[in-house]
């Protein structure tokens, strides 16, 4: 199964900054981002486990470090579980995540393949 999430996700630095502003800041950010992802997910369900998840992040520029960008996998997997596409995101169900970061100034997005 393949799908695309438009835009970009918060970085690890964004998550840390949100947690400093308020006790609930990071949690509020996570819920908001998760809702934004869920509306873009297909209505399917994975039936065979474990799966491998391949994620290509297309950033609009080179400002964010790779390690900060791929932290968005947390939001993505939690959204897949919340929508019911995955039963769980533990290692019993997700054996591997491969994440790559590219630049596309005109079309920032996240391309995801679940295999």
Q: What is the pLDDT of residues 75-107, one digit of tens each?
A: 999 999 999 999 999 999 999 999 999 999 999
Cα separation, 49 vs 106, in Å, equals 35
7 Cβ neighbours under 8 A, 6+ residues apart: 36, 108, 109
pLDDT for 90 equals 97
Cα separation, 18 vs 60, in Å, equals 22
**Domains of the chain, start order:** 2-114 (3.30.1330.70)
Please report the DSSP string for the chain in residue order: -EEEEES-PPPHHHHHHHHHH-TTHHHHHHHHHHHHHHTTS-S----SSSEEEEEEEEESSS-S-HHHHGGGHHHHHHHHHHHTSSS--STTTEEEEEEEEEE-TT--EEEEEE-
pTM score over 0.75: yes
pLDDT for 75 equals 94
């Amino acid at each position: 199964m393949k799908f695309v999430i438009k835009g970009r996700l918060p970085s690890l630095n964004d998550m840390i900054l949100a947690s400093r502003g308020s006790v609930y800041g990071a949690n509020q950010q996570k819920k908001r981002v998760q809702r934004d992802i869920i509306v873009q997910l297909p209505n399917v369900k994975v039936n065979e486990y474990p799966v491998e998840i391949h994620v290509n992040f297309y950033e609009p520029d080179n400002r964010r470090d790779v390690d900060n960008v791929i932290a968005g996998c947390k939001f993505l997997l939690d959204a897949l579980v919340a929508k019911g596409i995955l039963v769980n995101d533990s290692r019993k169900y997700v054996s591997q995540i491969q994440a790559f970061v590219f630049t596309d100034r005109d079309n920032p997005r996240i391309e995801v393949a679940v295999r």
